Amino acid sequence: MNTTEILEVVQKVTGFSLTELRHRHRHEPVIDARYLLVLLMVEEGYKHGQIADTLMLRLSVIRYSRLAADRLLRTDKRFKTLYLKCIATIAEKEDLECA
What per-residue confidence (pLDDT) applies to 99?
A: 67
Mean pLDDT over residues 83-91, rounded?
Answer: 95
Backbone angles phi, psi at 16, to 5 degrees: -105, 140
pLDDT of residue 24 exceeding 80: no
**What would the pLDDT profile of 25-70 be if each residue is shown by its tens digit?**
778 889 999 999 999 999 999 999 999 999 999 999 999 999 999 9
CA 8 distance to own-chain centroid: 10
Q: What is the residue-averaged pLDDT of the chain?
A: 92
Record the pTM.
0.90
Domains of the chain by start residue, with CATH: 3-90 (1.10.1750.10)
Q: Are 20 and 55 in contact (CB under 8 A)?
A: no
Confidence at 23, pLDDT banded by 50, 70, 90:
confident
What per-residue confidence (pLDDT) applies to 96?
A: 81
